[in-house]
Structure 1
């Protein structure tokens, strides 16, 4: 792969681009994981059912599918640097949309604003992921993406805490149940005060993002010009569509399954814990996130020094299969898994079923960093559109958790994790064979 930067120039200038793109990845994580706090908040403010409140996440994730190709078209015309600046501007506009939504307490405006925010993140993700892949050597791309993942997940830890402090600081202990028990006049007053609490934080976010958009446009971040090498041109064989690259299409399907199992592991552990009577079940997601961070750190140490990106992906898939099957077969009446893994640290012990779901975070950590470079290899001038196709795979985060919910109603929360088995099997296929395909 050839870019406008030579290898020596890449080495000298890699720190600055990594810092700038790292800031963007922190923003991805912060805004994405705000959904976890926003969903129960809007359930109260807009008087929603549980199913209706889930459309907050759906409108966010569906933007990745609907807008990925149009944003790739835009990216090809603006370049990666200007495209990322435009992405920040879109997110700022989406944040501004929360102000009239909060004033009117209108759920439709909230959903539209979420879609605009998701559109901005689609541009940022489409541009920044291939940027990280091509800013340095191909064989260490997964390690660089792992650094970005650490920033992303770190922001995911901070976002709900900051949201709670800024928006709910004066409403300690308020829940949908406590609001429902209030007298009508008091309920209206509290809901209005809650809703208006969104205005200042989202206005502040919009201003900060607008400033970042301008700063990024005039920053010294080098423009990434990805051109096909002679070997890649030969392999492309006059191809005119990204769908003619098997490794890319299979990579997008892999990411669909991956994002689905990642969201299931992170978002359903609290539901499972609540069913089993675990205290403070709403905080259980932090266990899954902590194991994801551990996985990213391990990836930084091992890839590519000791294992290749493809091998790391295969190991992750096998571990995911073992853990998902163990979740289904485990006995929630025992706690020896958590006692063995973290009990010696003095942390709370959890039922085996819940502990095994948390450990899925470790299995999931290296999938995203490994799939991107393997799927984009050899695309050359098709990289922007290829990245957009991969971004569309994020729709798995909207579809598969809903399917998990249907299965949990039909069977049980524990048995519904069977849904993960075919997902990890496909990830394993991509790791051992799918990423090598160059012809259908």
Structure 2
């Protein structure tokens, strides 16, 4: 097995039959688990902050917007940092940045401060961005190109495992230990209780920070195979011969990621408030947080199933089928009432499951030596999650249930991308070692 990646390490071919990728992919699955876990803690953190700081839906979703704005600002610097440090050192640094942000969340809770909370969520998201820019293309290119979507879906299933466990973690350690989290809908929370509730964030983020530091130490000492030559940046003079914008699958894939994130984050972060309503499931926030695990559990099941399905069927056609399913169940959510509306929203997780990894691999297909740059742009598009604030505005203006019509529109664009926008043009051959 090749030694650790560094700026001077000679890259191996994109798919070397003599290199064992299984152990490396197994370890990298832990990265996918951790950033999924931390991202989805926001699903229980948002209703908590809404109560502690007495926020409107617009202000609540603005918290999530700040988190995802980091993807826009940190993606290109992350790509340049990876070029300078190498993939392995960059992954370690990303974990340490996340740990620093989690530690800062403990400070924000002890003050408590809404402003410091926003800053620390931005720091955590910047670390996740660095991991995303490094790990997603790494998984996509180490192996046979025709199974890239299947492989990334399989590893992303561990991301979904993190997202499934995070709501239970957050519901127990944040919502379950706070007055606002266990109160009935509409209950009045005193200022003293709000202050005490703010401190419930300290323990869970302390545990997260410790886990991130341990994982960083493990990654730093593990002999990861080097990234293939097909995914390394071309020399500046040779780079001028090629244009990323001649690749239709990338041009339409960037907005596909952007728009998909609006849908995913809107569903996840308004779920607790939605199902807590008397006309839907009439639950406390703590109880609703536990049901959120079913939504993310559906994503995990869908990714395992999608990985197997895409071994036999075209990834674009599978993506189209899942987009149609998502549109149908979101429409049920908008017009149904009671538990039916809750369970239809939970089912969205199953259909969203394969979307990110499949769009990502379809978007960088045929980029050859431009893969690294294309990957950076695709990860930058995760900033679409910041526009969840638009759904927050719609919820304040037209009602929370009606705001999911925005999600339904997002699913239609994913269907367009699956059927036409993902077809590659001007595909480049993979480069091999020379």
Q: Same fold (TM over 0.5)?
A: yes
Q: Retained in 2: the 8 A contact 1:44–1:175?
A: no
Match of 1:144 in 2: 151
Counterpart Cα distance in 1 of 2:404 and 2:177: 38
Match of 1:321 in 2: 327
Q: Secondary structure at the match of 1:378?
A: coil
> Paired residue for 1:308, among 299, 309, 314?
314
> Paired residue for 1:295, among 294, 302, 315?
302
Q: Secondary structure at the match of 1:136?
A: coil
Counterpart Cα distance in 2 of 1:113 and 1:59: 10
> Paired residue for 1:127, among 118, 125, 134?
134
Match of 1:103 in 2: 110
Q: Retained in 1: the 8 A contact 2:252–2:417?
A: yes
Q: Does 1:220 align with 2:223?
A: yes
> Paired residue for 1:206, among 201, 204, 209?
209
Match of 1:402 in 2: 389
Q: Retained in 2: the 8 A contact 1:226–1:380?
A: no
Q: Does 1:9 align with 2:18?
A: yes
CA deviation after TM superposition for structure 1 residue 122, in Å = 0.2
Closer, same or farther in 2 for the Cα pair 1:34/1:228, shift >3 Å?
A: closer
Counterpart Cα distance in 1 of 2:270 and 2:183: 19
CA deviation after TM superposition for structure 1 residue 412, in Å = 4.5
Q: Does 1:27 align with 2:34?
A: yes
Q: Retained in 1: the 8 A contact 2:15–2:141?
A: no
Closer, same or farther in 2 for the Cα pair 1:66/1:167, shift >3 Å?
A: same
Equivalences, count? 408
Match of 2:122 in 1: 115
Match of 2:347 in 1: 359
Counterpart Cα distance in 2 of 1:362 and 1:419: 19
Task: Show CA shifts across 1:218-240 (max 9, x none).
Answer: 211112133269xx99xx99445
More deviation in 163-172 or 141-150? 163-172
Counterpart Cα distance in 1 of 2:349 and 2:170: 24
Match of 2:292 in 1: 285
Match of 1:378 in 2: 366
Closer, same or farther in 2 for the Cα pair 1:291/1:197, shift >3 Å?
A: closer
Counterpart Cα distance in 1 of 2:194 and 2:272: 25
Task: Show CA shifts across 1:320-363 (max 9, x none).
Answer: 333344445x5537xxxxxxxxxxxxxxxx22x43333322222
CA RMSD, Structure 1 to Structure 2 (Å): 3.1
CA deviation after TM superposition for structure 1 residue 366, in Å = 1.5
More deviation in 420-429 or 254-263? 420-429
Match of 1:346 in 2: none
CA deviation after TM superposition for structure 1 residue 34, in Å = 0.9
Closer, same or farther in 2 for the Cα pair 1:387/1:176, shift >3 Å?
A: farther
Counterpart Cα distance in 2 of 1:53 and 1:407: 13
TM-score scaled to structure 1, two decimals?
0.82
CA deviation after TM superposition for structure 1 residue 120, in Å = 0.2
Q: Retained in 1: the 8 A contact 2:157–2:303?
A: yes
Q: Retained in 1: the 8 A contact 2:58–2:393?
A: no
Counterpart Cα distance in 2 of 1:421 and 1:415: 11
Counterpart Cα distance in 2 of 1:128 and 1:228: 12
Counterpart Cα distance in 2 of 1:432 and 1:137: 23
Counterpart Cα distance in 2 of 1:388 and 1:275: 43
Q: Retained in 1: the 8 A contact 2:153–2:354?
A: yes
> Paired residue for 2:99, among 92, 102, 116?
92
The answer for unaligned runs of 5 or more in structure 2 is: 1-10, 428-434
CA deviation after TM superposition for structure 1 residue 42, in Å = 2.9
Closer, same or farther in 2 for the Cα pair 1:228/1:359, shift >3 Å?
A: closer
Closer, same or farther in 2 for the Cα pair 1:213/1:49, shift >3 Å?
A: same
TM-score scaled to structure 2, two decimals?
0.83
Match of 1:332 in 2: 337
> Paired residue for 2:416, among 406, 414, 429?
429
Counterpart Cα distance in 2 of 1:405 and 1:195: 22
Q: Retained in 2: the 8 A contact 1:94–1:114?
A: yes
Counterpart Cα distance in 2 of 1:430 and 1:118: 27
Match of 1:159 in 2: 166
Q: Retained in 1: the 8 A contact 2:257–2:356?
A: yes
Q: Secondary structure at the match of 1:431?
A: helix
Counterpart Cα distance in 2 of 1:156 and 1:206: 17
